[in-house]
A and B are shown apart, each in its own frame.
Chain A
């Protein structure tokens, strides 16, 4: 029997001896710390518990321990602040709402983390970026950009779905260049929202020169989520000139977007062709092994550990989004620390299931049909009609694919839903789309965009 178990059996005996309130208050969050030459050390949640246990239960504890293991000579107690903290923290959600009076209220804690000059957050670096087959190209190109700033791949354009690591990579490029050049290279990281705001501010205050100077004198310009400037004419124009100035002077430009340049709607042609003139790399969803690696890196960063079964489960279940994956791990760790030794796999499974179901729970078949139809600019009625026109058949198959993939509906039900077809049609369609996704990058891209549209339609 190890000492943890030994302590647990002592607790069981104590629980019978003393009243339940006393047990819960003083001993529930206790744990075995160490055994040094027969001197046992027990951690208690606070000073009150320490005083109490020393005064009231010490004799019993020592006696009980010694009957089980005669090598034990002494028992000591310490206050472990961690178990205290965990024990006393009420649910986080309620507090979050209280602490944020209004989402526009600026907070300097956020600001403190970010380097005011470059806008970079030092948290992101190249080493913590987990490389897998899904992002190899983007990663390799990033390293090349870091090595020869402005010379090799310019502009460098990264695209991929939300929560897959675009911002991480962009920030890491900035941080790495900053560290290597020891501050000699001027770097600027902005979101396209910030860029737009700056342009608007400049127009309003007639200070265009300031903004021009600000952006055009930098050596490395990193713009996140560039797709949002599409359709904002003045911003696009300003960006176009900034882009040209920097490009002509061999300054590095790195852009990120949730889709390739040609798929950004209402983006001016001259910008599109410029984006495509450099290096384009995509980041797709990580495979299982990469997800495992990501969880392990994340745990290392947090200095925590989880049983392998939990890691495998999380990696298996949460496939789409790294941010979600990290969120799940954070939540599991939070629960694990609060529950201390009462944590088990079942609980982790519950958390993961909750998270994965949460995103799909509110989607209805009708929503999927509507979204797919509106993406293809056809009417929902066409999808469920009998027609076999080519421009209808593929969207119909995509609909079937999503009904199966997102809602996990049965084939007969799907077939019924999609115009009283045979269930084999549904099976065929699902498999066909799956094949296409694996084969055709462009098609995969399209499926991803539709998927995001479905998720968004759900949030509205």
Chain B
């Protein structure tokens, strides 16, 4: 193999594959990446045997071939390099690295030992969606999910393809976020509409690496998924499990509806939370005249504080406690100026949504007050 490549391209590819390198202790070659010439482009791959990423970058190919080298040292060199033009050449499995004023020889391993990245067999059925739309959707739901080995089915994003929409849903059982894409936002041709759980790590990689202007195609095999753009492929296993039937917990009849300025509520929660170190607990309280919302927090050995915000309030007076971090996550996921904060008493799920945008909501459970 002999190639000529630009540093910026190489760096972008190494950044793309970086997060999943070197996680397996059993098989040392997983600390490596595979560099391979692939029809006028250079393909860089990494895998941890759960996810694999292939990133293609432009470069001048003088001689075809492939090489597998340790990622960490290669990445460091490329990060610290000043020159733009890089010559790469393999010499008996080792990589000869050269710029106009720098040379390095990096020991490599047999590229045949690098894991074979699986293919998706069903190539005809896929979802096609614009990068920016998918990325925005993922970012709105991803913070409501957490890694959980006790409930692996929650450690991911549920993707449901419906007759007219696609939904992304996440929950950690304390809150639940759902983003719906309408059928103008995507194309799909699945015969049997899939309902799958994509691992959190995979979806993070997708959101991180996706170029906003590119179109992304999503292929789904029996228990694999492939996200594919022109230059990027992310292949991952799916999570095997039953996502909870969450429909019943989405609040339908709200006993209290609070219409409130989002920025003001965010500052209120941020400010008052300084007194909630133990439980992360802030109290949301409706004043008697129902024109003001009080955010209150106290810690017995610190003190207490409250913040008053004018709001339009309908329904019953209520006092409920929330984990402010969870509340903040929800507020950050909504972009409209005003939001609707709906409650059903102090022990039932509450809901945050935008008045103008019906495609998103965030359900949050209160904290039990003693």
**Are B173 and A108 in contact (CB-based, < 8 A)?**
yes
Q: Is A344 an interface residue (CB 8 A)?
A: no
A106 CA to B348 CA in the complex, in Å? Answer: 9
Q: Mark each residue of chain A from 90 to 127: 1 if its CB lies under 8 Å from any CB of chain B, else 0.
A: 11100110110110111111111000000000000000
Q: Mark each residue of chain B from 232 to 262: 1 if its CB lies under 8 Å from any CB of chain A, else 0.
A: 0000010010001110110000000000000
Residues of A within 8 A of B323 (CB): 101-102, 105
Given A79-B223, A95-B150: A109 and B173 interface contact (C-beta under 8 Å):
yes
Question: Can you name the residue of chain B whose Cβ is closest to the Cβ of A28?
Answer: B26
Residues of B within 8 A of A98 (CB): 146-148
A104 CA to B174 CA in the complex, in Å? Answer: 11
Q: Is B100 an interface residue (CB 8 A)?
A: no
The count of A-to-B residue pairs whose CB atoms sit within 8 angstroms is 109
Q: Mark each residue of chain B from 103 to 124: 1 if its CB lies under 8 Å from any CB of chain A, else 0.
A: 0000000000001111000000
Question: Can you name the residue of chain A whose Cβ is closest to the Cβ of B221?
Answer: A47
A105 CA to B348 CA in the complex, in Å? Answer: 11
Residues of A within 8 A of B248 (CB): 112
Question: Can you name the residue of chain A whose Cβ is closest to the Cβ of B369?
Answer: A104
A101 CA to B278 CA in the complex, in Å? Answer: 11
Q: Name the distance in Å between B326's Cβ and chain A's nearest Cβ.
A: 8
Q: Mark each residue of chain A from 74 to 101: 1 if its CB lies under 8 Å from any CB of chain B, else 0.
A: 0000010110110011111001101101
**Are B28 and A51 in contact (CB-based, < 8 A)?**
no
Q: Is B47 an interface residue (CB 8 A)?
A: yes
The main secondary structure of chain A at its interface with chain B is helix
Q: Is A302 an interface residue (CB 8 A)?
A: no
Q: Is A21 an interface residue (CB 8 A)?
A: yes
Q: Is B269 an interface residue (CB 8 A)?
A: no
**Are A52 and B116 in contact (CB-based, < 8 A)?**
yes
Q: Name the distance in Å between B54's Cβ and chain A's nearest Cβ.
A: 14
Q: Mark each residue of chain B from 351 to 370: 1 if its CB lies under 8 Å from any CB of chain A, else 0.
A: 00000000000010111111
**Are B366 and A106 in contact (CB-based, < 8 A)?**
yes
Question: Can you name the residue of chain A whose Cβ is closest to the Cβ of B248?
Answer: A112
A85 CA to B224 CA in the complex, in Å? Answer: 14
A102 CA to B365 CA in the complex, in Å? Answer: 12
Return the contact of A21 from the options B28, B118, B149, B281 (Cβ within 8 A).
B28
A106 CA to B115 CA in the complex, in Å? Answer: 44
Question: Can you name the residue of chain B whose Cβ is closest to the Cβ of A95?
Answer: B149
**Are A22 and B27 in contact (CB-based, < 8 A)?**
yes
**Are A107 and B174 in contact (CB-based, < 8 A)?**
yes
**Are A102 and B280 in contact (CB-based, < 8 A)?**
yes
Q: Mark each residue of chain B from 168 to 200: 1 if its CB lies under 8 Å from any CB of chain A, else 0.
A: 000011101000000000000000000000000
A52 CA to B280 CA in the complex, in Å? Answer: 48
A84 CA to B222 CA in the complex, in Å? Answer: 14
Residues 114-137 of B at the A interface (beta carbon under 8 Å)? 115-118
**Are B224 and A47 in contact (CB-based, < 8 A)?**
yes
Residues of B within 8 A of A108 (CB): 173-174, 176, 246, 249, 349, 363, 365
Interface centre among A22, A50, A102 (most CB of B within 10 A): A102
Q: Is B49 an interface residue (CB 8 A)?
A: yes
A47 CA to B24 CA in the complex, in Å? Answer: 16
**Are A50 and B146 in contact (CB-based, < 8 A)?**
no
Interface centre among A21, A50, A82 (most CB of B within 10 A): A21
Q: Name the distance in Å between A205's Cβ and chain B's nearest Cβ.
A: 10
Given A47-B224, A48-B49: A105 and B146 interface contact (C-beta under 8 Å):
no
Question: Can you name the residue of chain A whose Cβ is closest to the Cβ of B119?
Answer: A51
Q: Is A25 an interface residue (CB 8 A)?
A: yes
Question: Can you name the residue of chain B whose Cβ is closest to the Cβ of A84?
Answer: B237
Given A104-B367, A105-B323, A107-B365: A85 and B150 interface contact (C-beta under 8 Å):
no
**Are A106 and B368 in contact (CB-based, < 8 A)?**
yes
**Are B116 and A55 in contact (CB-based, < 8 A)?**
yes
A111 CA to B249 CA in the complex, in Å? Answer: 8
A98 CA to B154 CA in the complex, in Å? Answer: 13
**Are A51 and B366 in contact (CB-based, < 8 A)?**
no
Return the contact of A112 from the options B146, B147, B149, B249 (Cβ within 8 A).
B249
Residues of B within 8 A of A102 (CB): 279-281, 323, 367
**Are B149 and A25 in contact (CB-based, < 8 A)?**
no
Q: Is B82 an interface residue (CB 8 A)?
A: no
Residues of B within 8 A of A91 (CB): 149
**Are A52 and B115 in contact (CB-based, < 8 A)?**
yes
**Are A25 and B116 in contact (CB-based, < 8 A)?**
no
**Are A96 and B26 in contact (CB-based, < 8 A)?**
no
**Are A96 and B150 in contact (CB-based, < 8 A)?**
yes
Return the contact of B347 from the options A50, A84, A106 (Cβ within 8 A).
A106
Q: Is A24 an interface residue (CB 8 A)?
A: yes
A85 CA to B240 CA in the complex, in Å? Answer: 8
Q: Name the distance in Å between A118's Cβ and chain B's nearest Cβ.
A: 15
Q: Name the distance in Å between A43's Cβ and chain B's nearest Cβ.
A: 13
Residues of B within 8 A of A82 (CB): 240
A90 CA to B148 CA in the complex, in Å? Answer: 10
Q: Mark each residue of chain A from 214 to 258: 1 if its CB lies under 8 Å from any CB of chain B, else 0.
A: 000000000000000000000000000000000000000000000
Q: Name the distance in Å between B215's Cβ and chain A's nearest Cβ.
A: 25
**Are A51 and B149 in contact (CB-based, < 8 A)?**
no
Q: Is A425 an interface residue (CB 8 A)?
A: no
Q: Name the distance in Å between A255's Cβ and chain B's nearest Cβ.
A: 24
Q: Mark each residue of chain A from 1 to 43: 1 if its CB lies under 8 Å from any CB of chain B, else 0.
A: 0000000000000000000011011000000000000000000
Residues of A within 8 A of B149 (CB): 89-92, 95
Residues of B within 8 A of A51 (CB): 115-118
Q: Name the distance in Å between A276's Cβ and chain B's nearest Cβ.
A: 33
Residues 309-365 of B at the A interface (beta carbon under 8 Å)? 323, 347-349, 363, 365
**Are A95 and B27 in contact (CB-based, < 8 A)?**
no
A112 CA to B363 CA in the complex, in Å? Answer: 14
19 example contacts (A-B, Cβ-Cβ < 8 A) are as follows: A21-B26, A48-B52, A55-B116, A84-B237, A88-B50, A98-B146, A99-B146, A101-B280, A104-B368, A105-B174, A106-B174, A106-B365, A106-B368, A107-B173, A109-B244, A110-B173, A111-B249, A112-B248, A112-B249
Residues of A within 8 A of B (CB): 21-22, 24-25, 46-52, 55, 79, 81-82, 84-85, 88-92, 95-96, 98-99, 101-102, 104-112
| 19 new A-B contacts at CB < 8 Å, known A48-B115, A90-B149, A106-B367 | A21-B28, A46-B237, A48-B116, A89-B152, A91-B149, A92-B150, A95-B148, A96-B150, A98-B146, A98-B147, A99-B151, A99-B172, A99-B173, A102-B281, A104-B370, A108-B349, A108-B363, A108-B365, A110-B173
Which 8 pairs across A and B sit closest by C-beta, in order of nearness? A47-B118, A51-B116, A95-B149, A106-B365, A81-B240, A109-B173, A104-B368, A107-B173
